[in-house]
Structure 1
């Protein structure tokens, strides 16, 4: 699933995929695969991207399972 929210944040910051990748210490293809949802970032990579773009790194892991929450008594 494409991470539209990540692309939106990157564009709001006026950054290219290459700039985010460089500042986060990864290759542009690796970053692009994360942004389009073809790869999930590790915790350390999520933290680097989040620091570069200025958001909570946990956002990467909140998106999974949100549609299937179950109530537990």
Structure 2
């Protein structure tokens, strides 16, 4: 996440807000210390961004998944 100082944030606010609207959050710092995090209103809260395992229990992978269509694939590669 990008961190910008207060003066830079004032200077580039329109650009930074446009990027935040696209999902690129940023932090505003004062004297090198973070004071505010700017994100889009519809972005998930920190810690709620769950990607891995989001479809757990929704489908079952067959036991022979790594062998499915094995003969057809072998034929495609000449053998």
Greater share of strand residues, 1 or 2?
2
Higher RCO (CA 8 Å, separation ≥ 6 residues)? 1
Greater share of helix residues, 1 or 2?
1
Bigger CA radius of gyration:
2
TM (normalized to structure 1)? 0.27
TM (normalized to structure 2)? 0.26
